[in-house]
Amino acid sequence: MTVFDFQIQASDPLCAARAGVFTTPHGELRTPVFMPVGTKATVKAMTPEQLRHLGAQILLANTYHLFLRPGDELIREAGGLHAFMNWDRPLLTDSGGFQVFSLADTLKLSDDGVGFASIVDGQRFHWTPEDNVAVQNHIGADIIMQLDQCTPYPCETATLHQAVVRSAEWARRCRVAHQRPDQALFAIVQGGTDLTERLQSVQRLLEIDSQTAGFPGFGIGGYSVGEPHQLMFETLPAVAQALPVDRPRYLMGVGNPTTLLRAVACGVDMFDCVLPTRTARTGTVFSHQGRMNLRNARYKNDFQPLDDSCDCPTCQGFSRAYLHHLVMAREMLASVALTQHNLRFLLRLMEDCRQAICTGRFGQLLAQWENSAAVDDF
Amino acid sequence: MTVFDFQIQASDPLCAARAGVFTTPHGELRTPVFMPVGTKATVKAMTPEQLRHLGAQILLANTYHLFLRPGDELIREAGGLHAFMNWDRPLLTDSGGFQVFSLADTLKLSDDGVGFASIVDGQRFHWTPEDNVAVQNHIGADIIMQLDQCTPYPCETATLHQAVVRSAEWARRCRVAHQRPDQALFAIVQGGTDLTERLQSVQRLLEIDSQTAGFPGFGIGGYSVGEPHQLMFETLPAVAQALPVDRPRYLMGVGNPTTLLRAVACGVDMFDCVLPTRTARTGTVFSHQGRMNLRNARYKNDFQPLDDSCDCPTCQGFSRAYLHHLVMAREMLASVALTQHNLRFLLRLMEDCRQAICTGRFGQLLAQWENSAAVDDF
């Protein structure tokens, strides 16, 4: 297969779920896929070796954070992000647009780009779409994301519309500026919870796609920014279906198991979220019985594994009692062990989806989850 | 070989260094050996799997901390410490005496034992030597240490003497109380920096050894409590030589590379120290060029490994520049990576000593180290 080719291997007959293979210079992504987040060129508490053993196919890193520290030039000097962080499988960088909007309280936004202050030392920077592509070119991930304007929730239609128009314009400029043939540039759909704006966003991006070298994949941004959970599913199915069937669809920043399963049913292929790693560090884990907080005294004498159907090293080696002890003693191994479990839980959930789609049992898998105790875990 | 048998496989012709094998119910210890410290049933920042890959033969855990949390009864209920922390190689618990003296500011000391307050919740406890053995029996390590009285530096001779007499009396009571045949009880030599007291301590313990079931090994305690470094070597050679040649000698709480090498030359077989793990968490590592602090800006663009002769996963995968970045960003992987390196450094140093002793090249190895840039690393 050629690089950045997306081959669909199976589609569910009753919903939009599909299993595919996306080819990158660092290997194939088998979709649906969950991408662990390594914001600052490290997935918190994990070694690259542990991530490989957990079955992580691709990691995500953050352009905003890496630009500020250690700097994109230094990463280029190191031979690119793969060499810098010792990860030889695919990598994706988001543009940092989301962080600029959510972290920088000194934001200056215009049609030409975005000005922001460093959270490290206050220094001011300005990114045009072209600047942002250059930074991501230096970092060197297999998949890079266009600079976009992310809207909050709730948001007035005029602002939503402006973000849709501006993001599409920036998609065009990123597409023109991006020249590295070994990096795929994904465009990003915006439009909040407004279906008209969402579909117009898709339309604008498809127009650019047809007029240029095109986008090998599409991000769906601007969800999971505080809106009620069910609201996303009022527009997501139509948004996903409006995107080209032969390109991967990446729902950005969503990571709870129930939402992942439902989004796979809508035809989404890729996911990322800090949820599994961040909640692990607070002592909380996913399980087929729903979320568990290991600080709870009920686990003090509980010698069972976290989830007896889980094949992660934590469930193979440690009891809830031991994990409770590690959490209470604030030992680093608590974060390591719970992060391993949460990541494996989502990675395997996606492997299970893929397997089910390929064997015509996805509807059954989804129904099982919807009827389980874990369904309310958001 | 029978359990707790110590076989000497080679001795250096010019110094007291020896290579041996100590047999435990969970496998053999090949000495000289460094024991990573897992105070609260976890070596900070390490998984059991990582420790196995680093070549850790045995871990040390702390009776004082485990008694307070999660409690020795809970560990017994879990099937013992090996099962609780998922470590199937040998384990050693120290008695907690040192922690009682150094952490508890509400210490009550008498010939009958020691009273102390919990650092967790202030609750008061009293340990007789028999109580302490019972706690260590519950925890279930392969090697347990007698309750002893540790003296500070400097210390008056009368206090040193009292500690020597009392510790020997407690050694006798521990020996009588200890009945588990699958745990080896080691006695502990005290006496500070006073050679007369040290040799009297040995004499008293050997007397008890000959009158009872005996001690399969001896700890050498009360060093590295703040005295000038060279002071230890004014008495250690004689203390080590006064101990039976057919029993392992364990120098407690010492972990800098130079001291380890010199102590091996005195005939010491076992070591433990928090130094490699604790300094790693502050960004500092051992190397053959001496200690390095990764916070130093000189490492920002340094794409070499920490130590190019090191075979640890950190040196195999990461550059100093990446480690500098992780330390500056306060990422957990910094602690993991630097801990792995420091532990491997000491574990391999002891493997190298063993190999050198077995092939008659120990003097050469020691001379090489004494002439290297790393010799001043204390």
Walk me through the domains of chain A, giving residue ranges and CATH numbers. 32-273 (3.20.20.105), 282-370 (no CATH)
pLDDT on residue B1: 58
The shortest C-alpha distance from B320 to chain A (Å) reads 10
pLDDT at A103: 75
Note whether A321 contacts B44, CB cutoff 8 Å. Answer: no
Contact (CB<8Å) B44/A78? no
Comparing CB atoms, the residue among B42, B300, B333 nearest residue A47 is: B333
**What's the pLDDT score for residue A376?**
83
Q: Which of A40, A74, A332 sits opposite B44 (nearest CB)?
A: A332
Task: Say whether A337 and B47 touch across the interface (CB within 8 A).
Answer: yes
Instruction: Identify the residue among B325, B327, B336, B339 best suited for mutation to test binding to A, counting A beta carbons within 10 A and taking the highest.
Output: B325
How remote is the C-alpha of A197 from its chain's centroid?
A: 22
* C-alpha distances out from residue A48 to A30, A88, A172, Å: 19, 9, 35
Instruction: Tell how strand B249-251 and strand B124-127 pair up.
Output: unpaired
Query: Which amino acids of B are annotated catalytic?
Result: 94, 272
Per-residue pLDDT of chain A (378 residues; tens, 9 = 90+): 589 999 999 999 999 999 999 999 999 999 999 999 999 999 999 999 999 999 999 999 999 999 999 999 999 999 999 999 999 999 999 999 888 887 766 788 999 999 998 888 889 999 999 999 999 999 999 999 999 999 999 999 999 999 999 999 999 999 999 999 999 999 999 999 999 999 999 999 999 999 999 999 999 999 999 999 889 999 999 999 999 999 999 999 999 999 999 999 999 999 999 999 999 999 999 999 999 999 999 999 999 999 999 999 999 999 999 999 999 999 999 999 999 999 999 999 999 999 999 999 999 999 999 999 999 876
Q: Which helix (H) or strand (E) holds A271?
A: strand A270-273
Look at B318 and A86 and tell me if their CB atoms are within 8 Å.
yes
Alpha-carbon dihedral sign for residues B306, B311, B313, B317 = positive
CB pairs under 8 A between A and B: 104
Tens digit of pLDDT for each residue in B14-57? 999 999 999 999 999 999 999 999 999 999 999 999 999 999 99
The two structure tokens encoding residue A232: 């996303």
**b/e per residue A123-140 (b: at least 16 CB within 10 A):** eebebbbbbbbebbbbbb
Residue A43 makes CB contacts below 8 A (sequence gap 6+) with A36, A37, A51, A56, A59, A277, A339, A343
**Which DSSP helix (H) or strand (E) runs through A251?**
strand A249-251
Q: Per the CB < 8 Å rule, is B78 touching A337?
A: no
Question: Are A41 and B303 inside 8 Å of each other by CB?
Answer: no
Question: Tokens 């009864």 belong to which residue?
Answer: B73
CB contact under 8 A, A300 and B42: no
**Chain B residues near any Cβ of chain A (below 8 Å):** 40-42, 44-50, 69-70, 74, 77-78, 84-86, 300-301, 303, 313, 317-319, 321-322, 324-326, 328-329, 331-333, 335-337
Residue B200 has what pLDDT?
Answer: 98
Strands across the sheet containing B184-189 = B33-36, B270-273, B249-251, B218-220, B184-189, B143-145, B91-94, B59-62
Residue of A nearest to B71 (CA): A325
Q: Whose CA is closest to B33, among B63, B66, B60? A: B60
Please report which residue ranges of A281-361 form alpha helices under DSSP H.
313-317, 320-328, 332-358
Are A340 and A50 in contact by the 8 Å Cβ rule? The answer is yes
Distance CA B372, CA B228 (A): 22
Prediction ipTM score:
0.97
Specify the pLDDT at position B251: 98
Please answer yes or no on whether A44 and B331 come within 8 Å at the CB atom.
yes
B59-81 confidence digits (pLDDT tens): 999 999 999 999 999 999 999 99
The pLDDT tens digits for A231-245 are: 999 999 999 999 999
Cis peptide before B70 (omega within 30 of 0): yes
**Mutant choice from A89, A281, A328, A332 vs B, greatest count of B C-beta within 10 A:** A332
Distance between CA A318 and CA A53 in Å, rounded?
17
Q: Which residues on chain A are in Cβ contact (under 8 Å) with B337?
A: 47
CB contact under 8 A, A303 and B69: no
User: How far from each other are the two terminal CA atoms of chain A, in whole angstroms?
Assistant: 38
Give residue B101's pLDDT. 82
Cβ distance of B78 and A321 shorter than 8 Å: yes
pTM: 0.97
Q: Which residue has the tokens 């579909």?
A: A199
- Residues from chain B contacting residue A49 (CB–CB below 8 Å): 313, 317
Q: Report which DSSP code applies to A269.
A: -
Please tell me the predicted confidence (pLDDT) of residue B378: 63
Per-residue model confidence (pLDDT) at position A377: 72
Considering only CB atoms, which chain A residues are within 8 Å of B74? Answer: 300-301, 321
Shortest alpha-carbon distance between residue A219 and chain B (Å) = 28
From the list B46, B74, B331, the residue facing A301 with the nearest CB is: B74
A94 labelled catalytic:
yes
CA atoms lying within 13 Å on the CB side of residue A104: 25
- DSSP class of residue B170 equals H
> Are B333 and A45 in contact (CB < 8 Å)?
yes
Of the candidates A94, A194, A209, A269, the residue annotated as catalytic is A94
Selecting among A72, A269, A272, A307, the annotated active-site residue is A272
Q: Which chain A residue has the Cα nearest residue B76?
A: A301
Question: Which parts of chain B register pLDDT below 70?
Answer: 1, 104-105, 378
- In terms of Cα–Cα distance, which of A293, A279, A295, A299 is closest to A343? A279
Which of B64, B139, B331, B344 best probes binding to A when mutated, by most A CB atoms within 10 angstroms?
B331
Query: DSSP letter string over B46-113?
Result: --HHHHHHHT---EEEEHHHHHHTT-HHHHHHTTSHHHHHT--S-EEEE-SHHHHHHH-TT-EEETTE
Residue B38: closest CA among chain A residues belongs to which residue? Answer: A331
Residue B63's closest CA among B102, B94, B101? B94
Q: Scan for tokens 């920490």, then name that residue.
A: B306
Contact criterion met (CB below 8 Å) for B333 and B281: no
